[in-house]
A and B are shown apart, each in its own frame.
Chain A
Amino acid sequence: MKKIFAMLLVLTMVFSLMAMSGSAYADDANKLTVMAWDANFNIPALEAAAAAYQKVNPDFELEIIQQPGSTEVEQAVTLAASSGDLSTLPDITLFQDHAIQKFVRDYPDAWNTLEGADINWDDFGAEKLSYSTFDGVHYGAPVDNGTAIFAYRTDILEQCGYTVEDVTGITWDRWLEIGREVKEKTGFALLSMDHNGNDLPYMMMQAEGLSQFVDGKPDFANESLKKIIEVIVQGAQDGSIILANNWSEYTDSTIVGDQVAGVMNGNWIIPTISLVEANSGKWALTTLPTINGGEGYAANGGSSLYITGNCQKVDLAREFLAYTFGGGEGAIETYDNALLNGGVITTCISAGSSDVYMEGFDFFGGQAIYADIVAMGANVPVIEQNDFHYQARTYIGNAITNIINGGEVEAELQYAQELLEFEMDI
């Protein structure tokens, strides 16, 4: 017993020494900390920005605090702001577009504005800025544009006698027919989605130019939403839409696991599609179908960078953001490398016309996908946003599950709306 106790003490001391040598922490005037998620997407973008800014400020250092996802970042802000002690926050944080409005309203002290930063806001897409602007005051420096794409496997479509043109600008009913045919002839589904956070209804509604909210209230009785839910349910029942249980099953099993001939999501999904090298050259990108036909445009899951209320070097942070993500002199370098290393696509119009953006990609059969996505991004309609975006997503997702299990569409949507109204306290 004594021996074990002594061993425990010795080990503790050894580990403490190890830990201490690792955490030598120097706080200097040229260092900023930033909290972000996704090592394959946002982190390379931040590294690219840091490298670009170091050219004009060689002493600059950017410490990246990596979080597993946006929820953890939101939790960190909630905790810091609620306890009234912001000191646990980094200088800058990446934040999900759909979530930021409520956080700025609830915790005004937790943020610093970008007023006075040298940023030409006209150089950015209006839809993107609508998330990060509050009463005309800019808070966020846009990172990626989240424009939704629909990627198809051309080889599989071909087996059924279709080309990408045949699935562009079609109605969802036609899409369902093709989906059935593809499933029957090739065994592939034509679409999959993480059903634990099902973004399909939101994107499909936005492609119609509609929101799930009207005047700050949920509007689930909407005929278009009803039609969209019916399409998803029908697709799931046909086997042409796979609703995965969780994110990992969605990406690893359905996309990387080669079960689908189509992927529809924010363009940040492209790196995941590209993981399967065997399918290189077989993918092509296009727009979304719509209810009545015609090309649909939507955006999903973009994010922006915000300076927190804990930042002691606000001027440095503003300068850094303006120079890089804000369309300053380092913007082209930042966005080019962010694109090459992480697949992050800008909403900055001038940066989106660089040579890198014009390049064709072999993986997508030589298609200049990034130029196409930037062009699509300009068409995304601005729709009403709401603080309860994610709750709406959860309840509509639950409704879809219940309808697949035999529930009735109108009743389930009605129930989902009631749950959401209850949560919104209206």
Chain B
Amino acid sequence: MIDKKKKMDAIQRRLIPCYIFLIIVSLISVFPLFWMFTAATNTTVEVAQGKLWFGTHALENFKNLVDNTKLWTSFSNSFIYAAVQTILSLFICSLAGYGFELYHTKGKDALFAVLLMAMMIPGVATMIPLFTMMSKMKLINTVWGFVLPALSTPFLIMMFRQNSRTFPVALMDAARIDGLPEWQIFFKIYMPVMKATYAAAGVITFMNAWNAYLWPRVVLTSNNAQTMPILIANLANGYTIDYGMLMMGVLFCSLPTVIIFFILQKQFAEGITGAVK
């Protein structure tokens, strides 16, 4: 027993430099976020002069933000867009990943390789044609205008496809023998088994949708349709900037994704692990 404890102590001692390094990196990682919190409680002058600690101006900043911007509209817009995009995107891409991997043929593999190339297309290149397309479909300033171009992404399809490699094919065969139609195999067997992948893909999609900037800047021109990132970018590029209020906005823009990440972090890690196998 004592020997084992000694050995453990020795190991821990050898790990001290690791701990120090990790603590430094963690502090650097968390510090700007900590500062975002404290800045949201300070006045604009205090923020501009780089005050470090919490202040007493939080309520004031919040009130200014609510009074001067469409905070709740933007917040619920961001939420609706991100939720719609996450739900539909997971469905469409998991279905495709399932089809590509578990029904794979040479033709499908070739198609997949072609689709992967879409990952490299720069956003600025497709922005103008996409806008024209959306405006012809009368989808400017709507949730569909926002989500349609991002519903099917090669990255998500690839993620589901990779994760499906470990999917037990025997389960499918058993289901077929039981007379389950093909589409029900997806819903009743594949989806429950792939929970972790859905969680990881969900987190990534939700964050991407919530944080999108370039495309919403183009497709959401009305104040009533704008999202949180647009709201805070507008606050920051306005003629007079209230930094306390801005940081309160930044806080509101960041909290939902942080919370979602905290709730789903375990499943997220599992899902990613499956994806890189």
Residues of A within 8 A of B (CB): 1, 4-5, 8-9, 11-12, 15-16, 18-19, 22-23, 37-41, 65-69, 72, 75-76, 79-80, 82-85, 87-88, 247-248, 251-253, 257, 272, 275
Contacts and interface: CB of A to CB of B under 8 A. Distances in A.
A8 B76 contact: no
A85 B136 contact: yes
Interface stretch (B23-31, B99-107, B166-174, B237-245): B237-245
Contacts of A88: 135, 140-141, 221
A65 B223 contact: yes
A252 B48 contact: yes
Interface in B72-86: 72-73, 76-77, 79-80, 83-84, 86
A399 B44 CA distance: 33
Contact of B233 (A1, A16, A68, A87): A68
A1 B73 contact: no
A39 B239 CA distance: 8
A308 B137 CA distance: 21
Given A15-B79, A40-B239, A88-B140, A76 B221 contact: yes
A253 B79 contact: no
5 contacts: A9-B83, A79-B218, A85-B136, A251-B239, A251-B240
Among A19, A65, A84, A253, which residue has the most Cβ atoms of chain B within 10 A? A19
B239 A85 contact: no
A8 B221 contact: no
A8 B238 contact: no
A250 B44 CA distance: 15
Which label, helix, strand, loop or mixed, suits the secondary structure of the B interface? helix
A83 B238 CA distance: 27
A247 B48 contact: no
B199 interface: yes
Contact of A16 (B80, B198, B218, B234): B80
Interface residues of B, number: 42
B264 interface: yes
Interface in B131-150: 131-132, 135-136, 138, 140-141
A159 B239 CA distance: 32
Contact of B135 (A39, A40, A83, A251): A83
Contacts of A80: 135
Given A1-B199, A66-B223, A82-B128, A253 B76 contact: no
A67 B136 CA distance: 24
Given A4-B264, A253-B48, A257-B48, A248 B222 contact: no
Contact of A39 (B87, B224, B238, B267): B238
B59 interface: no
Contacts of A79: 131, 135, 218, 221
A14 B68 CA distance: 24
Question: What are the 8 A-B residue pairs with the smallest beta carbon separation, nearest first?
Answer: A15-B76, A68-B234, A83-B132, A85-B135, A12-B83, A83-B135, A68-B237, A38-B239
A45 B147 CA distance: 37
B236 interface: yes
Contacts of B86: 8
B238 A69 contact: yes
Contact of A12 (B84, B132, B263): B84
B80 A15 contact: yes
Interface string B210-233: 000000001001111000000001
Contact of A252 (B138, B222, B241): B241
B108 interface: no
A69 B239 contact: yes
Contacts of B224: 22-23
Nearest to B243: A252
Contacts of A67: 234
B241 A248 contact: yes
Contact of A8 (B87, B223, B234): B87
A68 B86 CA distance: 29
A41 B238 CA distance: 12
A82 B199 CA distance: 40
A9 to B, nearest CB: 8
A15 B82 CA distance: 12
A16 B84 CA distance: 11
Contact of B136 (A1, A19, A66, A83): A83
Contacts of A76: 221
Given A83-B136, A84-B132, A1 B198 contact: yes
B73 A19 contact: yes
A381 B132 CA distance: 42
A252 B243 CA distance: 10
Contacts of B128: 82
A40 B240 contact: yes
Contacts of A4: 263-264
Contacts of B136: 83, 85
B195 interface: yes
Given A19-B80, A68-B237, A83-B131, A39 B68 contact: yes
Interface string B241-264: 101000000000000000000011
Contacts of B241: 248, 251-252
Given A8-B87, A12-B83, A252-B48, A82 B132 contact: yes
Contact of A11 (B73, B83, B198): B83
Nearest to B69: A66
A199 to B, nearest CB: 14
Contacts of A11: 79, 83
Interface in B37-74: 44, 48, 68, 72-73
A190 to B, nearest CB: 22
A65 B135 CA distance: 19
A1 B267 CA distance: 9
Given A5-B87, A39-B68, A65-B222, 14 more contacts: A4-B263, A15-B80, A39-B240, A41-B239, A72-B234, A79-B218, A83-B132, A83-B135, A84-B132, A87-B140, A247-B237, A247-B239, A252-B241, A272-B239
